[in-house]
Amino acid sequence: MNPTAHKTDLQFPTDMDLDGTRPLLEVRNLRTSFFGRGEEVRAVDDVSFSLKTGETLGLVGESGCGKSVTALSILRLVPEPQGKILGGEVWLDGVDLLSLPDEGIRAVRGSQIGMIFQEPMTSLNPVLSIGRQLTETLEIHLGMTKHAAKDRAAELLNMVGIPDATSRLLDYPHQLSGGQRQRVMIAIALSCDPKLIIADEATTALDVTIQAQILELLARLTDDLGTALMIITHNLGVVARYADRVNVMYAGKIRESGSADEIYDTPRHPYTVGLLDSVPRLDRPKGSRLKSIEGEIPDLANLPTGCAYRPRCTYAVDRCAAENPPLAKVGDSHASACWEWPRLAEEQGQTVVS
Amino acid sequence: MRDRVTENEPYTGDDVKVASSSRTFVAQNFTKWYWGLRGFARQRPVSAFWLAISVFLILMAIFAPLIAPHEPNKPDFLNIKTEPNRSDIFGTDQLGRDYFSRTIFGARVSLLIAFTSVALGTAIGGVLGILGGYLGGTFDLISQRFLEVLMAVPGLLLAIILVLSMGAGASAVIIAIAVTRLPTTSRVLRAETMSIKETQYIDSARSIGASPLRVMIVHVAPQTVASFIVIFTASLGTAILTEASLGFLGLGIAPPTATWGGMLGEAAVTLIPDWWMVLFPGMFITLTVLAFNLFGDGLRDVLDPRARGRI
């Protein structure tokens, strides 16, 4: 059960993180597919990455590129029987989550890994009071008495900035605003002091000012508690501000991985460049048109040969159709899955670090 | 007119809460119940009327010994088959027993059997439905096929077969009627569970490490309470009819215990039955079935948010 025993077959991003500290979460060669109508949809295809204690990781990409399924696979919540984790390992603090029995993974969910879902409107049970839903996690994992759990629940609500916590415990979800509900979700995720919090599009459904508040809160709390945070989003602005490291996903694979600075300042994959170009920026000349990536995300059941991004890529060459580029080192802690990254780098007028 | 009331009536949300709250009702939620009932009476006055009739019938059954003027089973051979008069307002039967007292005591048997059998049947059916809907797989497959077999046989026929195989008696009647309630309840709750299962709060419950059993009890079951109450109420009418039919056929509770069905059966022995011996038990059966069904209808309209606004 010791992850170091697997060092020999470590894939690239994991190798790079070896600066003495063992990562908190290591995902290796994770493959998750959905089956239906005789087709296999490879939602997560050979994904490897790692996350250190207290670190914030951004997982970025368009809708349908496998971000959420990656998160669900880590907790083994992929909807069955259509979805299946076909292979790989997920090591959390020396334990392979994918080989745990059902009771084992249930003990991890909520206590070691907290999850925050996208829709605060629907992720709370409408017929149970906020207090009941907050104390449930405490009851399951810490075996707290009702009274103690209630006190702790009020404390948690206070922590996430809901005033008058004790009386709010009796409220039902429909009595709370979207932002407040997401705060409650954060409180539930944090209640057992987990090592990792996965925020799956946690702010997408909220309006912009509330988004900022919620992210600020999440970042501050995980910082204070030393919790690692995985932000899944399609919003590059969110990632730029809060993430230490960024993984860019496309069609079930990680296409580029690096520190937030590297990804933003020196992107080495045409897809990342495309994503960055499609973000409105204040420093662009006035009146210039916003660029978008041509085409649309390919059908995951019928991927093009070679690189899945090839049909939309302006840098595509013949080799891209023949061979799928592996994730290869392009900087200190920076990797890109593109054959043509040196050309991309040159075009951007930057020196290539090899 | 009704539409306007429906639109402006803010109570319905509370009403759903009343129905699905799992706390001890009476003491803590007295106010909630009061407002729930008040709202129900305003929105569905007709159903509220039938609710009152139901409550009246239940009270009549409970306090039967206090209301009945005579012993229900005491024969009086000097007054056989007398027409309704001052002392026997519903008349007397072929053994001279007071028909009014027998009718009131008959309510006890009918309602007791109806409530226990429906409680048993819908509870087991509901558990099967939630388990099957949530777990799916082999359990669902086997339990549903089993229930389809039950569904294929008409309810009364099924009840007759079951009573005959178990031997007449109160428990046999209760079990037989309960079995006829299984398929409907489990089908409805299974379908509901399957749609609840796909909601995000079930995902989020699973993401905090809740076991399947816990998810079913804490998160799925309370959501189905509204449907359950409606099925329960609607089933009462059917159960009373089935019980009366069994009694009429002589398969119900053994004489001399007074049951509505049994009284009708005894009256039907004669070629031309005396009118009061048919009218009063028949009237009470009809009244009870109507009361529970129409109350159940109103309850369904109020508890089902999709049907709201329709009549």
Inter-chain touch A109–B206, beta carbons under 8 Å: yes
What's the pLDDT at B28?
61
In this predicted structure, the answer to whether residue A44 has a pLDDT above a threshold of 70 is yes
Residue A123 domain-assigned (yes or no): no
Outline where DSSP puts E strands in chain A: 25-36, 39-51, 56-60, 83-92, 95-96, 113-116, 196-200, 228-233, 245-250, 253-259, 328-329, 335-336
Higher-pLDDT residue of B269, B1: B269
In this predicted structure, the answer to whether residue B4 has a pLDDT above a threshold of 90 is no
- Which chain A residues are closer than 8 Å to B209 by Cβ? 106-111, 137, 140-141
In this predicted structure, the answer to whether residue B6 has a pLDDT above a threshold of 70 is no
Distances in whole angstroms, Cα of residue B233 to Cα of each of B54, B290, B297: 10, 11, 9
Measured between CB atoms, does A137 come within 8 Å of chain B?
A: yes
Task: Please report where in the chains the tokens 């296999």 appear, as a residue.
Answer: A40
Q: Which CATH number is A325's domain given?
A: 3.40.50.300
Measured between CB atoms, does B3 come within 8 Å of chain A?
A: no
Measured between CB atoms, does B138 come within 8 Å of chain A?
A: no
Residue A115 domain-assigned (yes or no): no
Alpha-carbon distance of A334 to A320, in angstroms, equals: 21
Closest to A340 in 3D by CA, of A254, A328, A61: A328
What's the pLDDT at A113?
92
What's the pLDDT at B10?
43
Gap from B125 CA to chain A (nearest CA, Å): 22
Measured between CB atoms, does B81 come within 8 Å of chain A?
A: no
Inter-chain touch B204–A126, beta carbons under 8 Å: no
Domains within chain B, CATH numbers bracketed: 64-302 (1.10.3720.10)
Q: What are phi and psi of B9, to 5 degrees?
A: -85, 110
Alpha-carbon distance of B30 to B48, in angstroms, equals: 18
What's the pLDDT at A19?
53
In this predicted structure, the answer to whether residue A16 has a pLDDT above a threshold of 90 is no
Nearest CB partner across the interface for B209, out of A118, A124, A141: A141
Inter-chain touch A140–B214, beta carbons under 8 Å: yes
Nearest CB partner across the interface for B201, out of A124, A137, A140: A124
First to last CA, chain B: 12
Q: What ipTM score was computed for the predicted complex, to two decimals?
A: 0.79
- Which chain B residues are closer than 8 Å to A75 by Cβ? 207
Alpha-carbon distance of A101 to A107, in angstroms, equals: 10
Alpha-carbon distance of A261 to A258, in angstroms, equals: 8
Angle between helix B260-267 and B99-135 (nearest 10) = 130
- Which chain B residues are closer than 8 Å to A127 by Cβ? 16-17, 20-21, 222-223
Alpha-carbon distance of B227 to A285, in angstroms, equals: 60
Residue A9 domain-assigned (yes or no): yes
Of chain B, the percentage scoring pLDDT greater than 90 comes to 22
For chain A, the domain total comes to 1
Gap from A110 CA to chain B (nearest CA, Å): 4
Q: What is the pLDDT of residues A193-226, one digit of tens each?
A: 899 999 988 887 788 888 888 888 888 888 888 8
**Range of weakest confidence among A23-27, A207-211, B4-8:** B4-8
Q: What is the pLDDT of residues B20-37, one digit of tens each?
A: 444 455 556 677 778 778
Measured between CB atoms, does B12 come within 8 Å of chain A?
A: no
Gap from A325 CA to chain B (nearest CA, Å): 35
If one counts every other C-beta atom within 10 angstroms of the C-beta of residue B254, the result is 12
What's the pLDDT at B27?
59
Contacts of residue A158, Cβ cutoff 8 Å, sequence gap at least 6: A165
B218: nearest CA partner in chain A: A128
Measured between CB atoms, does A117 come within 8 Å of chain B?
A: yes
Residue B185 backbone zone (phi > 0: left; psi -120 to 50: alpha; other: beta): alpha
Q: What is the pLDDT of residues B35-83, one digit of tens each?
A: 778 888 888 888 889 899 999 999 988 988 888 777 777 777 777 777 7
Alpha-carbon distance of B25 to B119, in angstroms, equals: 18
Inter-chain touch A124–B204, beta carbons under 8 Å: yes
Inter-chain touch A106–B200, beta carbons under 8 Å: no
- Quickly state the pLDDT bin for B130 (edges 50, 70, 90): very high
In this predicted structure, the answer to whether residue B143 has a pLDDT above a threshold of 80 is yes
Q: What is the pLDDT of residues A249-293, one digit of tens each?
A: 988 889 999 998 888 888 888 888 888 888 777 777 777 777 778
Residue A14 domain-assigned (yes or no): yes
Residue A314 domain-assigned (yes or no): yes
What's the pLDDT at B306?
60
Preceding amide of A81 cis, omega within 30:
yes
Residue A180 domain-assigned (yes or no): no
First to last CA, chain A: 35
- Quickly state the pLDDT bin for A350 (edges 50, 70, 90): low
Q: Which domain holds residue A43?
A: 1-53+60-101+229-281+293-354
In this predicted structure, the answer to whether residue B221 has a pLDDT above a threshold of 80 is yes
- Contact between B88 and B97 under an 8 Å Cβ cutoff? The reply is no
What's the pLDDT at B8?
43
A191: nearest CA partner in chain B: B208
Residue A149 domain-assigned (yes or no): no
Mean pLDDT over all residues of chain A?
Answer: 83
What's the pLDDT at A15?
44
Measured between CB atoms, does B204 come within 8 Å of chain A?
A: yes
Inter-chain touch B218–A77, beta carbons under 8 Å: no
Half-sphere exposure of A268 (CA within 13 A, CB side): 32
Residue A334 domain-assigned (yes or no): yes
